[in-house]
Amino acid sequence: MMSPPDASHSKQAVTGVVAPATAEAMIRQAWPSVTDVAGIAALAYRLQRTIVLAPLGWLLLAWPYFKKILPFLAKRYTLTNRRLMIRAGLKGTPAQEIALGNIDDVRLEEGSYSSFYRSGILEVISKGQVVMRLGGVPEPESFRRAILNACLAWAPKKPK
């Protein structure tokens, strides 16, 4: 059974759009793919390219896959209308975060994209330095665009 919506969000002009001053709303969330554990993912890829050793490659990927949902190791990347976070544990407590206003650029780390796993590493740039690395992001270009669009839409304008 669904709970009734909050009274503060019931009079929105566009459903799902909440101003940062009103409340924090999630825009997008991504769970790291198996490539977050790079060495195991690369070895599993090589094994899966063979006929005989492919099942061994699948078994190697079991650990990185189930690592996503283990209560003490779970991790996800959450983009809201106020900040970008790396959240840890099943409850999703923020382990690292950066305000959208502090993000200068987001780039895909060169050579990190895997067309086999369709994931890569995103680097968040602030004041000319990498302040956050998001490893194993599924469909990294799409998530990168979502972060940049959220910065344009919700972050306070920086003086020129």
The answer to whether residue 106 sits within a structural domain is: yes
- Residue-level pLDDT at 140: 95
- Residue-level pLDDT at 62: 86
pLDDT-based confidence at residue 20 (cuts at 50, 70, 90):
confident
Rounded Cα distance between 85 and 64, Å, is: 21
The answer to whether residue 94 sits within a structural domain is: yes
Rg (CA), the chain: 18
Q: Is the pTM above the cut of 0.85?
A: no
The answer to whether residue 90 sits within a structural domain is: yes
| Statement: residue 159 has pLDDT above 60 | no
| CATH code: domain of residue 32 | 2.30.29.30
Rounded Cα distance between 32 and 135, Å, is: 7
The answer to whether residue 119 sits within a structural domain is: yes
- 3-class SS of residue 136: strand
The answer to whether residue 108 sits within a structural domain is: yes
- Residue-level pLDDT at 125: 95
Torsion of CA 44, 48, 50, 55, to 10 degrees: 90
pLDDT-based confidence at residue 11 (cuts at 50, 70, 90):
low
DSSP 68-131: TTSTTT-EEEEEESSEEEEEETTTTEEEEEEEGGG--EEEEPTT--BTTTTEEEEEEEETTEEE
The 10s digit of each residue's pLDDT in 34-72 is 888 778 888 888 998 998 998 998 898 888 888 877 878
Domain that holds residue 69: 26-154
* 8 A C-beta contact, residue 74 and residue 86: no
How many independent structural domains does the chain possess? 1
Calculate ∠ Cα 65-49-74, nearest 5°: 10
Rounded Cα distance between 105 and 152, Å, is: 11
The 10s digit of each residue's pLDDT in 90-147 is 888 999 999 999 999 999 999 889 899 899 999 999 999 999 999 999 999 999 999 9
The answer to whether residue 41 sits within a structural domain is: yes
The answer to whether residue 142 sits within a structural domain is: yes
| Cα separation values, 108 from 28, 103, 140, 143, Å | 18, 14, 7, 10
